Amino acid sequence: MTTSVHKLAPTEVELEIQVSPADFASAQDRAFRKLATRYRLPGFRPGHVPRRIFEQQVGKATIDHQALEDLVPEVYAKAVKEHRLEPVDRPHFDLDRSEADQGVRIKATVAVRPEIALADYRGIPVLGIPTVVTDEDVEHSIDSLRKKAAALEPVDDRPVQLGDHVTMDYTASVDGQPFEGGHAEQQTTEVAPGRLLDGFAEQLVGAVRGESRKVTITFATEHRNPQLAGKQALFDVMIHEIKQAVLPDLDDDFVRQISDHDSVATLRADVRRRLEAVAESRNREAVQKHVLDALLERNDFPLPDVLVNREVHNLVADAKAYMARIDRPWEEYLAAKGVDEAQLQDEYRAEAERRVKTALLLDEIAKQENIDVTTAEIERELDKLARAYDKSRDQMIDILRKSTGFGAIVDTVRQGKTLDFLVSQAEVTDVPAAAPAAEALAT
pLDDT at residue 136, as a whole number: 93
pLDDT of residue 130 exceeding 60, the answer is yes
**CA dist., res. 201 & res. 370, Å (int):** 57
**Residue 352: burial class (beta carbons within 10 Å; 0-12, 13-18, 19+):** buried
**CA dist., res. 123 & res. 295, Å (int):** 11
Least confidently predicted of 186-190, 359-363, 398-402, 410-414: 398-402
Q: What is the mean pLDDT of residues 318-327?
A: 90
Least confidently predicted of 203-217, 298-312, 321-335, 346-360: 321-335
**CA dist., res. 275 & res. 281, Å (int):** 10
Cβ(245)–Cβ(254) below 8 Å: no
* Burial track 194-207 (b if 16+ CB lie within 10 A, e otherwise): eebbeebbebbeeb
**125-128/427-430 β-pairing:** parallel
Report H helices in 224-302.
252-258, 264-298
**CA dist., res. 98 & res. 96, Å (int):** 6
pLDDT at residue 43, as a whole number: 82
> For residue 443, what is the DSSP state?
-
**CA dist., res. 197 & res. 349, Å (int):** 33
How big is the chain, counted in residues? 443
**Residue 23: burial class (beta carbons within 10 Å; 0-12, 13-18, 19+):** middle
In the chain, the amino acid numbered 71 is L
**CA dist., res. 62 & res. 210, Å (int):** 88
**CA dist., res. 365 & res. 125, Å (int):** 18
- Report the chain's mean pLDDT, rounded to a whole number: 90
Query: Tens of pLDDT along 245-302?
Result: 999 999 999 999 999 999 999 999 999 999 999 988 888 888 999 999 999 999 999 9
Residue 303 confidence class, pLDDT cut points 50, 70, 90 = very high
pLDDT at residue 129, as a whole number: 75
pLDDT of residue 435 exceeding 60, the answer is no
Q: What is the mean pLDDT of residues 321-338?
A: 88
DSSP string, 368-391: HTT----HHHHHHHHHHHHHHTT-
pLDDT of residue 421 exceeding 80, the answer is yes
Cβ(324)–Cβ(333) below 8 Å: no
Residue 187, strand partner residues: 168
Residue 436 confidence class, pLDDT cut points 50, 70, 90 = very low
**CA dist., res. 420 & res. 227, Å (int):** 46
Cβ(231)–Cβ(218) below 8 Å: yes
Q: What is the mean pLDDT of residues 192-213?
A: 92
* Cα–Cα–Cα angle for 124, 128, 130, rounded to 5 degrees: 150
Residue 132 confidence class, pLDDT cut points 50, 70, 90 = confident
pLDDT of residue 342 exceeding 70, the answer is yes
Local structure of 180: helix, strand or coil: strand
Structural domains in the chain, CATH included, are: 2-111 (3.30.70.1050), 151-246 (3.10.50.40)
pLDDT above 90 covers a percentage of the chain that reads 67
Query: Tens of pLDDT along 148-171?
Result: 899 999 998 999 999 999 999 999
Q: What phi, psi does 202 have (nearest 5°)?
A: -60, -35
In the chain, the amino acid numbered 117 is A
